[in-house]
Copies of this chain bind each other. A is one copy, B any other.
Amino acid sequence: MNEHELAVLKIGGSVITDKNGELAARTQEINRLAEEIQKANVHNLIIVHGGGSFGHPSAQRYAIKEGFKEDGQKIGFSETHHVMTVLNGLLMDSLIWHKVPAMSITPSSCLITENGRINHFEDTPLKALLKMAFIPVLYGDAVLDTKLGFTILSGDQLVSALATRLNAERIIMGVDVDGLYDADPKVEKTAKMFKHLTLEELKKLHGKLGKPTVCDVTGGMLGKIAELMPAIEQKIRVTIINASKPNNVYKALEGETVEGTIIEKV
């Protein structure tokens, strides 16, 4: 694997938090992942993480995704962003402790959406960081929106936008199941995992996929898939792997084959 080709690694909120709790970080998993990232020593890398039990409960309680409707939501917007910075801080702490030159980039400080879609993204600091071989770390966030006032930007939309905009070679989606299934593997025992999908096959599947088991304002697996299509269209290879299984992220970063689902344009 050419280390000069950009990789975007998504770490799912369900991997680093317990979605059945609230503000429940899995600090051992965060440390394990920081170790794997340090060991892989990939230089051209962007990390994006989800919100899990940090961002989602506040966002849902105050209906932040639906936009500004009344003043009572404002403290909810502040809170949603704040708890995401707390989760991000736990990951940054562990990465820096492991001597990974990681630098957090706050999405709400440098981008604005329009009806939930990124429409203004100041990426000068991000590009400067990559040029100096830092590893930028971003996350799903509560952001300002030109039409809605504010909304939720999912980590998945961010992954797709970053990969597309910066011509990434590959996207590694680290989730808490082994790959993409034809039904929700946490509910349906007979759910079958896809090993390889083309963009055409993915489009056909779209709409039939399993729903997430707990609250996820950003749409869970269904949302992830729809978000990644523009990147796949641009020939960026997507690998969905189980980041909860030790060494999977390390191996994927190293370019080794890991059990999972590969999605490619052709």
Seen from chain A, the residues whose Cβ lies within 8 Å of a Cβ on chain B are: 68, 74-75, 77-79, 81-82, 85-86, 89, 92-93, 95-96, 99-106, 108-112, 120, 122, 124-125, 128-129, 132-134, 143-144, 149-150
Q: A74-B132, A75-B99, A78-B103 are in contact. Are A108 and B125 (CB under 8 A)?
A: yes
- Known contacts A78-B95, A109-B125, A132-B150; 8 additional CB pairs below 8 A are A77-B103, A81-B104, A82-B89, A82-B104, A85-B104, A120-B124, A122-B122, A132-B149
For residue A134, give the distance in angstroms from its CB to the closest CB of chain B: 7
Closest 6 CB pairs of A and B: A122-B122, A106-B106, A109-B109, A74-B101, A106-B109, A128-B144
- Selected from B82, B108, B133, the residue in CB contact (under 8 A) with A96 is B82
Q: A68-B132, A86-B89, A128-B112 are in contact. Are A102 and B122 (CB under 8 A)?
A: no
Q: A110-B109, A134-B74 are in contact. Are A144 and B122 (CB under 8 A)?
A: no
* Pair A144/B120 contact, Cβ less than 8 Å: no
A93–B105 CA distance with the chains assembled, in angstroms: 19
For residue A185, give the distance in angstroms from its CB to the closest CB of chain B: 36
Q: Which residue of B lies closest to A123 (CB)?
A: B122
**In the complex, chain B residues whose CB is within 8 Å of the CB of A79:** 96
23 contacts between A and B (CB under 8 A): A74-B132, A74-B133, A74-B134, A75-B96, A75-B99, A75-B101, A77-B103, A78-B92, A78-B95, A78-B96, A78-B103, A78-B134, A82-B92, A82-B96, A85-B89, A89-B89, A105-B108, A106-B109, A109-B109, A112-B128, A129-B144, A132-B144, A132-B150
**Most chain B Cβ neighbours within 10 Å, of A86, A110, A111, A150:** A110
**Most chain B Cβ neighbours within 10 Å, of A112, A143, A144:** A144
**Most chain B Cβ neighbours within 10 Å, of A74, A102, A111:** A74
**In the complex, chain B residues whose CB is within 8 Å of the CB of A128:** 112, 144
**Most chain B Cβ neighbours within 10 Å, of A68, A77, A125, A133:** A125
* Pair A102/B78 contact, Cβ less than 8 Å: yes
**Most chain B Cβ neighbours within 10 Å, of A92, A133, A149:** A92
A102–B96 CA distance with the chains assembled, in angstroms: 27
- Selected from B77, B125, B132, B143, the residue in CB contact (under 8 A) with A110 is B125
